[in-house]
Amino acid sequence: MPHSFGLRARTRHMFSRNFREHGAIPLSTYLKNYKVGDIVDIKANAAVQKGMPHKFYHGRTGVIYNVTKSAVGVIVHKKVGNRFMEKRVNIRVEHIKHSKCRQEFLDRVVANAQKKKDAKAAGVPYNLKRIPAQPRDARHVSTKFNVPQTIAPIAYETLL
C-alpha cells in the first residue's frame, strides 16, 4: 500500500502532546500579550486544529508582524534552493510561545548597565565586552618535599 503525502503525513510524534500535558489548554496560553516585533517559537498544539501551522514550521522561530484577536502573523525564513525566502504565516496563539533566545542578551544589558554605573561611581574603567575563556595561569610544582609517585593500575581480579 503506498504511503500518503498529506498535510499531516509523518507527524505522529511531532504533533503529539507531551507526557502529563494532555487535556485542556491552560488559560495562561490565551492571556499572554504579543506585540509586533516579538520573537516567538512555533510549536503546534494538536489539540487545536484551527490556525495550526504546517509541519515545516513546527520548531521554527520567527518574528511577529501582525496581531489579531486570536492569532498572530509570523515571519519565518525558509530555505528554498540556494536562498532564504521570507514566509508570512498566520498562526493561532495556542501554537506559539515567546522565545527565550534573547533572554541572555537582555540579562547582559541590565548587568552591564549596573556594572557601568558602579565603575563610573568608583571612577575606574571597566570592560563591558565579553571575553573568551583565557588560558589558566602558569604554576610551578616543587619536588623538594613532594616526591613523585609512580601510579600503576590495580591488577584485574576475577570474582569466580
Tens-binned pLDDT, residue by residue, of the chain (160 aa):
668 899 999 999 999 999 999 999 999 999 999 999 999 999 999 999 999 999 999 999 999 999 999 999 999 999 999 999 999 999 999 999 999 999 999 999 999 999 999 999 999 998 889 899 999 999 998 989 998 899 998 888 777 6
Of 146, 43, 143, the residue nearest 95 (C-alpha): 43
Distance (Å, whole) CA 25 – CA 18: 12
Looking at residue 32, its pLDDT comes to: 96
Looking at residue 1, its pLDDT comes to: 62
